[in-house]
Amino acid sequence: MTCSIRREEALFKSDCGLAKMTVATSTAKIEEDGFVWARDFVPPSILQDLENGISEITGRTRAGVRDLLRKCPPLRAFAQSSLVVDCLSELLNGQPFPVRGILFNKTPEANWRVAWHQDLTIAVCEPRDAPGFGPWSMKEGIAHVQPPSAMLERMLTLRLHLDDCEENSGALRVIAGSHRHGKLSAARINEWKRRSEAITCDARRGDALIMRPLLLHASSAAITPRQRRVIHLEFATDNLPNGLAWSEGIQE
C-alpha cells in the first residue's frame, strides 16, 4: 500500500545560505554528540508563511498537532525545500525526505513536562508484519511502530523554533552521546541521568536543532509560561520493508 504525499511543485525559494554555513562542518559533531545547531536557519519571510499555515489548523492554546505534513501545505513545501534538504543531506550522507511532522506548543493553558526518553516510533500507513518492527500502537488513528535501531540511526529530526525558548519557558534538554548506544532500557536511562550533565537547548526564533532520534531528551514545564511553538520534522533516507509505508512520507 502507498499513501505517500506527492511532492509539491511550488517549493520555498530563499536567498538564505545559513544552513550550509552552520552545518557543513558538523557531521563529526552530530555523530559524536547526537545534535547540532543551525542558528538563524529560517529567514523571517518563511517563518511568517509557516505561521500563517499553522494558524489555519490550530488554535493558540492547543498543545500539539500530529499529521502536520498533510494538514499544512506551507510546511510540506518547506520540508522539501533545498534549504532543508541540502542541509540534511550533508549529515545523512543520502537523499533525505520528510516522513512526519508534529507541532508542539507550550502555553499558559497547556504547560507540561516530558520525562527523559528516546524517540523510538515511526508513523506508518497501516500495520503489517515485518521482522524487527514492534510493538505497535495507535495515536489519533495513525499506526505507530518501533523499527529496528539501525533504521532510527539513519534518521534525523529537525526542530524548528517559531518562538524564543530558554530554560524558563520549557526548553529541550539533551544528553550528548546517548544516541550511540541503541535503544536504552529504563535502568540505562536512569544511569545516563546520574552520570551525565544535561545540556539546555536555548533557542531563538528561526533556530533549528538537528538531532538523532535516539538522543536522550526531556523538557520541564515552563516556569514562566508563554507560547513556545516548535515544529518537529522527521527525515529518513530509506523506504520501509514488507509493504510498510511512511504515513506522511514525501517522495518524488
For residue 28, the model assigns a pLDDT of 86
pLDDT for position 243: 96
In tens, the pLDDT along 112-139 reads 788 999 999 999 999 999 999 999 999 9
Please give the pLDDT value at position 136.
Answer: 97
Instruction: Look at residue 16 in the predicted model and tell me its pLDDT.
Output: 40
pLDDT digits (tens, 9 = 90+) for 12-36: 444 443 344 344 457 888 999 999 9
* pLDDT score of 105: 86
Query: Which residues does 238 contact at the CB level (< 8 Å), separation at least 6?
Result: 151, 154
Question: Within 10 A of 5 (CB to CB), how many other CB atoms are there?
Answer: 18
Which pLDDT belongs to residue 62? 61
- Nearest CA to 75 out of 41, 43, 49, 38 is that of 49
Does the predicted model carry a pTM greater than 0.85? yes
Tens digit of each residue's pLDDT (9 = 90 or more) over 166-193: 988 889 999 999 999 999 999 999 999 9
CATH topology of domain 29-236: Jelly Rolls (2.60.120)
Beta carbons of 36 and 23 less than 8 angstroms apart: yes
Residue 9 has what pLDDT? 30
Percent of the chain at pLDDT > 90 equals: 70
Q: Are 154 and 236 in contact (CB under 8 A)?
A: yes
